[in-house]
Structure 1
Amino acid sequence: MSKAVRFDEYGGRDVLRVVDVPVPEPGEGQVLVQVRAAAINPGEAKIREGALHDRFPATFPSGEGSDLAGVVVGTGPGVDGFAAGDEVLGFTDERASHAEHVLVDAANLTAKPPNVSWEVAGSLAIAASTAYAAVRAVSLRPGDTVAVSGAAGGVGSVAVQLARREGADVLGIAGPANHDWLVGHGIKPVAYGDGLAARLTGLDAFVDTHGDGYVRLAIELGVAPDRINTVADFAAVAEYGVKADGSFVKSAALLAELAGLVADGVLEVPIAATYPLTEVRAAFEELERGHTRGKIVLVP
Structure 2
Amino acid sequence: MAAGRPPPSSTALRAFTTVARLGSTARAAQAVNLTQSAVSKQILSLEHHLGSVLFERSPLGLKLTEAGAIYLPYAEAALEQMERGAMRLAERGAIARPIRLHMVAIVGERWLMARFPAFAEAHPGVDVQFTNYVSESETEEPDIEINHGIPPWPGKEAHYLFGRDVALVAAPSLLERMGGFRRAADIQKMTLLQHFQMPTFWAEFTEAHGLRGAVPEHTVRYGYYSVIISAALAGLGVALTPRCYVAEELASGELVNPLGLGFTSATGCWLTRPLGQPQRPGLDEFVTWLRAEAERFDAATRAPSAAA
TM-score (norm 1): 0.28
Point out the structure with the larger helix share: 2
- Which structure has the bigger radius of gyration? 2
TM-score (norm 2): 0.27
